[in-house]
Structure 1
């Protein structure tokens, strides 16, 4: 029960619906322009400047775009790992070798994803990353991230913890998705920073 006089905290499902509704109103020009600015800010992060391997993802639909950032990292000589969705919602990984190496894959009735062609490196490949770029819908002042609810990145974070791996966790969002508070559970891990089209915000360790 919520405390008397204090409004109940919105649940994750309601928040996800609300944030997705805002994203769905964005135009293609909005998404493209945001992606360019987001990449510029992200490339200045020390965690990415010093990284040899970065685990990332290919944005789809109205997510903040990532291809400009992936290509810039690869041009720096960074090894970029991209996820491959498995039937149980866990993630395998493959190396990114340019936009032409991506293949569209539809998993059941879900949105079509762009996944790397070529060798599968196994779910544990993410433990070799110096930084992990996470998708999300929002982040709060503590660095707690609201994901899309599929559980794939919960497994990634749990795998990192089991391996005692501590890459920099960074979430990529739009400006309006940095909020006062999102619901958090015991297994949730805070991110180190959020990158938006207007800049970078870091969180206490």
Structure 2
């Protein structure tokens, strides 16, 4: 028997496929230029200006580049937490100590991620963050984010909610990935802002 798809799942799959086609056309030069621009825009955010701890991630493939931003935050004295993918798709966390502290980790037949090589802090470490930078493929006018579909960040957002933690939620995208509508499921939560290489769009008050 085929599993019953949740409402919104087929539309999300189609939208993910279309967006990834566009991303995969980007060149190495495109990625370098957008990475620097994205870092500059993100550092202007008040949510990051006052943050002591930021949970972020290391970009892979054609994702908007994050390493320049991670280094700039660390240079400011911000404690940067990076995810470690667990076998059940949940996320543990470690501290970013510079690019040399990252190790490539291959997860089954899926992908190789750069993860922090130091001490594991536990999945609940994200609840100490003042801001959480989320990967994604799109965001709509309500601030609803489209992820890649693995569910890792759905667990992060649920963990924050259970803990009563309310960090600023910010998604990093390309400008063309701000869309009219993202199919929504009951567990989805809006972000406060999207940062693109060309600017910032806010969906709620600054913190």
Q: Name the TM tier (shorter chain).
A: over 0.9
User: How many residues of Structure 1 are paired with residues of Structure 2 in the alignment?
Assistant: 198
Partner of 1:188: 188
Partner of 2:18: 18
Partner of 2:168: 168
Asked if the contact 1:142/1:204 (under 8 Å) is kept, the reply is no
Partners of 1:198 and 1:110 lie apart in 2 by: 31
Provide the TM-score with structure 1 as the length reference. Answer: 0.95
Partners of 1:167 and 1:28 lie apart in 2 by: 33
Alignment of 1:107-146 (within 5 A): 107-146=107-146
Where has structure 1 moved over 3 Å in runs of 4 or more? none
Residue segments in structure 2 that go unaligned for 5+ positions in a row = 1-7
CA deviations 1:15-71 (Å, max 9, x no partner) are: 000000100000011011001000000000000000000000000000000000000
Aligned-residue offset at 1:9: 11
Partner of 2:87: 87
Asked if the contact 1:32/1:65 (under 8 Å) is kept, the reply is yes
Q: Cα RMSD (Å) of the superposition? A: 1.3
Aligned-residue offset at 1:204: 3.2
Partners of 2:173 and 2:83 lie apart in 1 by: 18
Partner of 1:5: none
CA deviations 1:69-110 (Å, max 9, x no partner) are: 000000000000000000000000000000000000000011
Provide the TM-score with structure 2 as the length reference. Answer: 0.94
Aligned-residue offset at 1:186: 1.1
Partner of 1:43: 43
Q: For the structure 1 residues 10 and 88, does the alpha-carbon distance in structure 2 shift closer, same or farther, using more than 3 Å as the test?
A: closer
Partners of 1:32 and 1:59 lie apart in 2 by: 12
